[in-house]
Structure 1
Amino acid sequence: MKLMLKIATMFCCLSPMMVHHSAAASEFVGVQQIAAPSKERGSDLAVTIWYPAEAGGKVVTLGESAFFVGTDAMLEAPITRGKYPLILLSHGAGLGGTPQAMSWIATSLAKQGFIVAAPTHPGNTGTNRSAAETMKLWLRPADIGATLDMVEKQPLFENHLEPERVGALGLSMGGSTVLTLAGARIDPIRLASYCDTDVLNPSLCGWVRQSGVDLHAMDMKLAGRNNKDKRIQFVMAIDPAPVDVFQVSTFSEASIPVDIVNLGRPGKIPRTALASEIAKAIPEGKYSTIEDASHYSMFGECKPNAAEIAETKQLGDPICSDGGGQSRLEIHEQLIKLVTEAFARELKTKR
């Protein structure tokens, strides 16, 4: 009951407006939220789903904040006739720690003929933010599995899902999550020592220490388990982080295609996200970069004065800084094109 009230609250304050005009189905994106039971978490997960829609429903703006521009979709709109591949989306932590923060890419994928479903990984952001829960990286893959289980049971989608056409997309910490779905395994020793210094991730590890979390004391009996999900045929990781907590040898065990994208110029990509060597170890791995981007380019488009507000609030991260040469909107357009083409290649054309 608490989760359903929370889900309702997430939408009730998002500038509703009735849609009366009609247009081609591809112009509309529907959105709804469901609750997915999770045995692993011992509670339900809030799951956001975007899909190709017909005109109808209410316009809601998702992902808008004091810092970022939001993206419109239509709450509870009717789904467009047809069958669509499913993309399971895994978000990062911090300001990007919600499905709604990834709306800019999820909405674009839905317009291109995909159903996109994203669970809220507990503890990653908001009032329930928890450093301890965030660092339990081995629980995230099960959130994706629980989401897949529940989406397949939804009456709205049961006749609209392409059988066995399932992929996973992850950004930042979500990128590392989808790599585990392909077969990579976490190294508990590396994870335990990840925040021994600030060399790898000063922002995240500073929060971990301030929260009084000692990774060496955390129960990691399950951290190194195999989280591969055989229902998933393709994964794509954008600036996966941390990638330096994996058992390196396990990347060679990935049996599905894996695309990895780093944001930034060679030599400027943070060590904890640098995945060029990992891609080489994956049998069907592909690797590319967007040199005019930065890790923060996966956030929404910044509002005017957002950088100044972030500095005033002492966030410590240059959330509106990209690599130079392109605006964030242009970088998003490049990322959307890259991601859409990859999932179309792997989920729409393969037989």
Structure 2
Amino acid sequence: MGDLLRVSGRSKAFIHLTRCYLNAKDSIMKSIILSSIFALTCTAAWAEMPYAGYDRLTVSAAHRTSAVAASIWYPAKTATYRGLVGDNAVFKGTSAYVGAAVQDGKHPLVLLSHGSGGNMDTISWLSSGLALKGAMVLAVNHQGSTSGDSSPRRSTRLDERAQDLTAALDELLSDPYLAEHVDKNRITSLGFSLGGATALNLAGLRFDGDRYNEYCQGIGKSQADCVFLSKGGVDFSRMPAGFSKGVEDPRVSAVVAIDPGFTYAVDEQSLIKVQQPVLLINIGQEHLWKAADVGSDGSNLVGKLEDATYAVVKPGYHFTFLAECKPEGPAVLAAEKDDPVCDDPEGTDRAQIHTDILAEIARFLKL
């Protein structure tokens, strides 16, 4: 079916270009007018691509012993072949034109950070959606807190995650082809869950180990984050230095944090450093995770930041953010004794929640 779609996509492009050519050749006397129509019509056709462009990057990072895997999504100018990104036994994949040319002009850039145990491909719905709205999206897999390599102890080294994105940004801006399409004045850090903390970290926010210890000994003791870290033997009274390290990247001009982690541990003195506009999104209301609540009933991060916008999308809960599940997804997870990340609260339409989240982000970033 994939091969059939590839042929179909190319055929449509060929037919369209042929029509454009014939229309332009129809009358030599009207060549100037027709050439203008040709340019406008063909440009519009490429602007209406059904899929975003997609490619992979390998990032060399001084703080890592091996290369960081990264991907780039972007508005496509041409149709190559259709690839399916993030497709597996549990989650539906997202279609993309692999290696397509980038749409002309400069585009806002989003640096995307996945959550604990996640990866850049399982949230491709968001990368693709933003690219189709005109943004470029640079995502990475964070070693030590990604799928198949998720350690509670390594997940607390927040500085390494932020440095992954900084290194990826350096790599992108050194690429002679891709860099020319980046609007360097519109770079946003965006993250989900643990990635939300990473996105805020890049904007200058720091985290305090003592405050997190207090949280996990108190109201957070039974919450998912403290429980997960406890299982890995994390000593909350001795958090690693990287948990509190300042890793601000001055190139970041806006922040989006979705159900962000560690907000009860915010270093209050670092709040003044975050001068960029920030969009904070919580998923669900009745089923909102206490650990991710940034509203007045939670950590109240929204009330502490200088320039914060707050949105709640519902119904749903934390894992509703992940890709849509296949019908057999819940059974696969149950057989592996994994978290039931496909089981949304009653009445939840995961696809609609994704649409709502995308709309909030697009509105905030003026896409």
Aligned length: 327
Q: Normalising by the residue count of structure 1, what TM-score does the alignment of the two structures yield? A: 0.85
Larger CA deviation: 317-326 vs 38-47: 317-326
Q: Whose radius of gyration is greater, 1 or 2?
A: 2
Larger CA deviation: 18-27 vs 83-92: 18-27
Letter in 2 for 1:261: I
Unaligned runs of 5+ in 2: 14-44
Question: Structure 1 pair 115/318, CA: closer, same or farther in 2 (3 Å)?
Answer: same
Q: Which residue of 1 aligns with 2:113?
A: 90
TM superposition shift of 1:257? 0.5
Q: Which residue of 1 aligns with 2:277?
A: 257
Larger CA deviation: 158-167 vs 97-106: 158-167
TM superposition shift of 1:342? 1.1
Larger CA deviation: 277-286 vs 303-312: 303-312
Q: Which residue of 1 aligns with 2:151?
A: 130
Task: State which of 293, 299, 308 in structure 2 corresponds to 1:274.
Answer: 293
Secondary structure at the aligned position of 1:223 is classed as: helix
Instruction: Tell me, yes or no, if the aligned pair for 2:116 and 2:155 is still in contact at 8 Å.
Output: yes
TM superposition shift of 1:208? 3.8
Identity %: 29
Q: Which residue of 1 aligns with 2:336?
A: 313
Q: Which residue of 2 aligns with 1:11?
A: none
TM superposition shift of 1:237? 0.5
Instruction: Tell me, yes or no, if the aligned pair for 2:220 and 2:291 is still in contact at 8 Å.
Output: no
Q: Which residue of 1 aligns with 2:46?
A: 24
Instruction: Tell me, yes or no, if the aligned pair for 2:294 and 2:302 is still in contact at 8 Å.
Output: yes
Aligned runs of 1:1-351 on 2, under 5 Å?
18=6, 19-20=9-10, 21-22=12-13, 23-27=45-49, 28-94=51-117, 97-191=118-212, 199-200=220-221, 203-214=224-235, 216=237, 220-265=240-285, 268-276=287-295, 277-315=300-338, 317-344=339-366
TM superposition shift of 1:239? 0.7
Distance 2:234 2:66 in 1: 23
Question: Structure 1 pair 158/42, CA: closer, same or farther in 2 (3 Å)?
Answer: same
Instruction: Tell me, yes or no, if the aligned pair for 1:26 and 1:112 is still in contact at 8 Å.
Output: no
Q: Normalising by the residue count of structure 2, what TM-score does the alignment of the two structures yield? A: 0.81
Instruction: Tell me, yes or no, if the aligned pair for 1:89 and 1:170 is still in contact at 8 Å.
Output: yes
Secondary structure at the aligned position of 2:244 is classed as: coil
Question: Structure 1 pair 108/259, CA: closer, same or farther in 2 (3 Å)?
Answer: same
Secondary structure at the aligned position of 1:162 is classed as: strand
Greater helix share, structure number: 2
Q: Deviations over 1:256-305 (max 9, x none)?
A: 1011011111x642221111211111111111111312101111111113
Secondary structure at the aligned position of 2:293 is classed as: coil
Larger CA deviation: 322-331 vs 237-246: 322-331
